[in-house]
């Protein structure tokens, strides 16, 4: 299916092309069984991109908030909604021992906001606790696939009741060792549990854990429409470093083993972990899977946030360009340990944002009360569609894969230097949706009459939605339903994406 909005968060829309070989008479020479006699051949470019690079864009910070959300923020029904879990230790117990003390109460706190800044607590809903201890890492999701009475779901990590540990441990031993959590022992047994709700207010705990696994900070669960499966991202702790793992299931209550998905690269310092996954999708475009993982440096116990992109939620690439969120200046509220939240949300008319957390203390600094209270929440945001860009520092060009246009004209999300420009050409293609055929090669291409890059009026300046014109006409000139390839030429420019209209 053709996309209305195209973003350059990775290379999925950019053809790699190849050289083509020609005889002295200008005839295309095939690779297999070229005509005899052998002759000198010369090469020509065939859809290769040149002079461009991909660059993640740094976010802009807003905060800290005077009224922060209680937990994960989800944008639903034109409103910002947030949930978290609050627990109380029994009277006389030390609050610092909550990992080993059965809480006297467990409450799901729900808050709402119209603008993401002013939050109001709507409900504190009690949750029946079946003897679990050490509640940690709660995450919430809106499930479009499950039954109505389970539309809202919560997943969290906790230690099971002592009476259940032996049976859970025995079942865990039946798994292949590749699925074992290295920190897990019979005496340090943790599980992922879940609760469900029809409305996000009244919650019911599921009786059985989803799996035996220790995810004490960050878990993401969602229903993937394309895979038609539930997908779970969670922490792994291999080689004493934090990785990101993945599991999937057709049934929310029954999960397979967790597979490594993203891990520290060998080119990184051996003191760097991938601490959080912070998975998201671009609002309104779920085909753009994104993560904002926090990279934690054990040498300083500080952190920064990078951006990763995926077309399927399985294979991930770090977007070049460095961190998208960096710590603040020394002494600022976010000067040491920072992290991004999950879920990009609309943020006004022309921005997108995620919650952002920070503290002026290193991560493992002794956590006296003032250290814990120093944690603050803000927002980080980008202009609409501007998470990353195809950049031409000087001159560059590239071609898209062939696709059936989802509109009759184009709008560019782009920015140029004073002497820069962006131009677009339209080429007829023999096959759509990324298919490859000899007639799609550069030498066989047929530009739509009057719609070449040289016919295009140069775009200059800065616009989120600049119309493209050829000789004063915005229509792409091809027949309805005919696949086309777009040819982009850039000079001192950044192209963030485009839209069919």
> Torsion angle, CA of 74/75/80/81, rounded to 10 degrees?
-40
Which architecture characterizes domain 60-383 according to CATH? Answer: 5 Propeller (2.115)
Q: Collect contacts of 242-246 with beta carbons under 8 A, ≥24 apart.
A: 242/273, 242/274, 242/275, 242/296, 243/273, 243/274, 244/274, 244/277, 244/291, 244/293, 246/314
Answer whether the bond into residue 215 is a cis peptide, omega within 30°.
no
Instruction: Please state, in angstroms and rounded to a whole number, the distance separating the CA atoms of residues 215 and 209.
Output: 13
Residue 479 phi/psi, 5-degree rounding, is -75, 150
What would the DSSP string read from start to end of 56-104? E-PPEEE---SS--SSEEEEETTEEEEEEEEEEPPTTS-GGGTTTS--S
In the β-sheet with 219-224, what is the strand arrangement from edge to edge?
Answer: 219-224, 229-238, 241-249, 259-262
CA 229 to centroid of chain Cα atoms: 18
- Listed by start position, the domains of the chain span 5-56+388-500, 60-383
Q: 346, 284 in Cβ contact below 8 A? A: no
Q: 340, 304 in Cβ contact below 8 A? A: no
Listed as ranges, residues in the chain with pLDDT below 50 are 1, 434, 436-440
Helices (H), 244-331: none
Position 438 scores a pLDDT of 45
Q: 484, 402 in Cβ contact below 8 A? A: yes
CB atoms within 10 A of CB 478: 19
Position 439 scores a pLDDT of 46
Q: What are the b/e assignments for 338-368, b being 16+ CB within 10 Å?
A: bbbbbbbbbbeeebbbbbbbbbbbbbeeeee
Whose CA is closest to 49, among 346, 475, 478, 395?
395
Instruction: Please state, in angstroms and rounded to a whole number, the distance separating the CA atoms of residues 424 and 422.
Output: 7
Q: 128, 110 in Cβ contact below 8 A? A: no
Position 15 scores a pLDDT of 95
Which 3 state secondary structure label does DSSP give 47? coil
Position 1 scores a pLDDT of 46
DSSP single-letter state for residue 27: P
Query: Of how many residues is the chain composed?
Result: 501
Instruction: Please state, in angstroms and rounded to a whole number, the distance separating the CA atoms of residues 72 and 160.
Output: 24
In angstroms, what CA-CA distances link 187 with 99, 164, 175, 256? Answer: 13, 12, 18, 23
């Amino acid at each position: 299916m053709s996309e209305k909005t195209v973003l350059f968060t990775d290379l999925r829309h950019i053809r790699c092309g190849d050289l083509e070989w020609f005889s002295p008479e200008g005839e295309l020479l095939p690779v297999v069984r070229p005509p005899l006699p052998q002759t000198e051949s010369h090469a020509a470019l065939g859809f290769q991109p040149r002079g461009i690079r991909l660059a993640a864009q740094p976010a802009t910070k807003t905060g800290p908030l005077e009224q922060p959300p209680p937990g994960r923020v989800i944008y639903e029904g034109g409103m910002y909604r947030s949930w978290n879990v609050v627990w109380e230790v029994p009277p006389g117990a030390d609050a610092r021992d909550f990992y080993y003390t059965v809480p006297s109460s467990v409450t799901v706190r729900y808050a709402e906001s119209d603008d993401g800044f002013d939050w109001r607590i709507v409900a504190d809903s009690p949750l029946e606790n079946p003897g679990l201890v050490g509640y940690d890492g709660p995450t919430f999701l809106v499930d479009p696939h499950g039954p109505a009475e389970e539309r809202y779901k919560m997943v969290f990590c906790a230690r099971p009741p002592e009476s259940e540990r032996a049976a859970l441990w025995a079942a865990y031993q039946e798994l292949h060792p590749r699925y074992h959590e290295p920190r897990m022992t019979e005496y340090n047994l943790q599980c992922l549990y879940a609760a469900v709700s029809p409305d996000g207010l009244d919650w019911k705990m599921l009786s059985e854990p989803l799996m035996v696994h220790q995810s004490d900070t960050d878990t993401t669960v969602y229903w993937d429409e394309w895979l038609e499966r539930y997908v779970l991202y969670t922490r792994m702790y291999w080689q004493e470093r934090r990785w990101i793992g993945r599991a999937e299931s057709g049934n929310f209550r029954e999960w397979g083993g967790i597979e490594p998905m993203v891990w520290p690269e060998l080119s990184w310092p051996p003191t760097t972990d991938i601490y959080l996954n912070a998975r998201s999708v671009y609002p309104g475009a779920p085909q753009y899977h994104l993560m904002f993982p926090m990279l934690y440096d054990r040498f300083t116990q500080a952190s920064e946030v990078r951006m990763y992109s995926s077309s399927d939620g399985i294979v991930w690439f770090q977007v070049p360009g460095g961190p998208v969120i960096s710590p603040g200046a020394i002494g600022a509220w976010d000067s040491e340990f920072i992290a991004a939240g999950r879920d990009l949300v609309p943020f006004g008319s022309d921005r997108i944002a995620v919650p952002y957390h920070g503290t002026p203390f290193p991560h493992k600094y002794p956590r006296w009360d003032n250290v814990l209270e120093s944690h603050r929440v803000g927002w980080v945001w980008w202009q609409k569609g501007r998470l990353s860009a195809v950049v031409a520092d000087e001159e560059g060009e590239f071609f898209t894969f062939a696709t059936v246009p989802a509109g009759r004209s184009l709008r560019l999300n782009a920015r140029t230097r004073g002497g820069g420009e962006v131009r677009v050409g339209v080429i007829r293609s023999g096959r759509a949706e990324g298919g490859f055929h000899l007639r799609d090669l550069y030498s066989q291409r047929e530009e739509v009459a009057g719609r070449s890059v040289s016919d295009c009026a140069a775009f200059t300046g800065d616009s989120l939605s600049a119309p493209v014109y050829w000789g004063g006409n915005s229509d792409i000139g091809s027949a309805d339903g005919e696949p086309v390839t777009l040819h982009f030429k850039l000079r001192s420019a950044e192209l963030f994406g485009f839209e069919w209209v």
